[in-house]
Structure 1
């Protein structure tokens, strides 16, 4: 607006039509289905983004919520069960015996000691990474699944007579007027991590997590400061690691510096990629990148040749059957 002030004139009617279009929809911060066909929730952000970009070039496609929810349900519930069964095996004879086939049965029947272990040890230490998070579809689905487990565990814990558990709940929830908001905030900051090569996708993923967090608020006075998740969801390439490398400083490294430990002086302000082996002192950063690009091209060519061979085999088989 400042750059083109006086050069672009947009009539008021255009804004009136735009506002009328937006007013024709019902906007929601959650994704609970309603009865209005004109409802819009944050999922539309990912859908529009993945329609806007070149899908073929970036390999970005819209993943429907039912798919992400199913995958998160299968992986997260299994992970929680594995962690709890490890505790049962380690503390065999200490914890009271309990049989459970799935997470729902565990949450429904667990005793006070298991509830304390689940809330204090297992859930906060889970780390879920989406190395190609896109607009955050899987991160949001993981947030909802973990929030459901947290809420069920807290609901069960409130009815258990266990002194240490009650002490933990009192200290944990103190100063947080909205329990659901606190649960989601804790999950977003402690459990969820994402990386994507597109900066725009990262911004949308962060926005969707913030909207999912704010969606837990029913009263304005329950709103707490939004967390900083710049280090949870980052732009970058998961295949090759850090890219913010000072080439000149990298190439000036001596073999001794390359083999030595990374100190604060060595890491900042210059970020170095990988483990910085002695190879870094003998070859330039650009040479290493060029070789990596050559290997990627070779891999792509090999994949194409494999596909061509498979197609040729199918064609030969079809002609053989016709003959």
Structure 2
């Protein structure tokens, strides 16, 4: 995918004809691929013995034995980990080994960052920056749409609650939801997408807070 369309093989063009040129070191072959085998040439014809210290488990929760086809082994290995969160009871119940998002970010930085100048930003920083910025943007959007003069998110919640008391609950909900959904967030220097995930989490948190103070579902 890191090759321009005209430089791709006919086989790749046939399969990925609509995929644009992805100009990022994330899609470039690694040094290991140059020294061994390109991952795009990986075939599913051979069976690989399962390593004795594998994280793969059988239905009884014991380490799996035997062998698996190449791609099945790869997908089963990746599926054994949870890449999505910082940890929760659900993950423990699923018996999935947790890969912390910060660890993945650091791996991304070490592998690709030195080429692109990409530096992974920890979650507590992205959440703080998104929370501060997006809440101000939400207040500004409501002020513009309603003609209000709220100076903070707390004042905004008070004004929404007052409007609900004196107006049509469903209409207030519809307009509030419309205002929040009109926000546009752009991350022009997107790397691992950590800022965008934090932005989405913040929008969900904002809607949740407004739901609680207004006793409605935004």
Q: TM-score, normalised by structure 1?
A: 0.37
1:132 aligns with 2:132: no
Change (3 A) 1:136 1:88: same
1: CA distance, partners of 2:144 / 2:130: 21
- Residue 88 of structure 1: CA displacement? 3.5
Aligned residue number for residue 153 of structure 1: 210
Paired residues for 1:16-165 under 5 Å: 16-19=52-55, 27=82, 29-31=84-86, 39-53=98-112, 55-89=113-147, 100-110=150-160, 111-112=163-164, 115-120=173-178, 122-158=179-215
Which runs of 5 or more residues in structure 1 are unaligned? 93-98, 160-168, 173-323
In 2 relative to 1, CA 18–61 (structure 1 residues): closer, same or farther, beyond 3 Å?
farther
SS of 2:211's equivalent in the other structure is helix
Given the two structures, how large is their TM-score scaled by the length of structure 2? 0.52
* Higher Rg of the two aligned structures: 1
Q: Distance in 1 between matches of 2:144 and 2:42?
A: 61
Q: 1:68 to 1:128 in 2, by over 3 A?
A: same
SS state of the match for residue 128, structure 1?
coil
Q: What is the alpha-carbon root mean square deviation over aligned residues?
A: 3.6
CA distance in 2 between counterparts of 1:62 and 1:152 reads: 29
Q: Secondary structure at the match of 1:71?
A: helix
Do the aligned residues in 2 keep the contact of 1:30 with 1:42 (CA within 8 Å)? yes
In 2, the alpha carbon distance for the partners of 1:145 and 1:127 equals 13
Gaps of at least 5 residues in structure 2 are 1-40, 57-62, 64-76
Aligned pairs, number:
143
Residue 2 to residue 135, structure 1, CA distance change in 2 (3 Å): closer
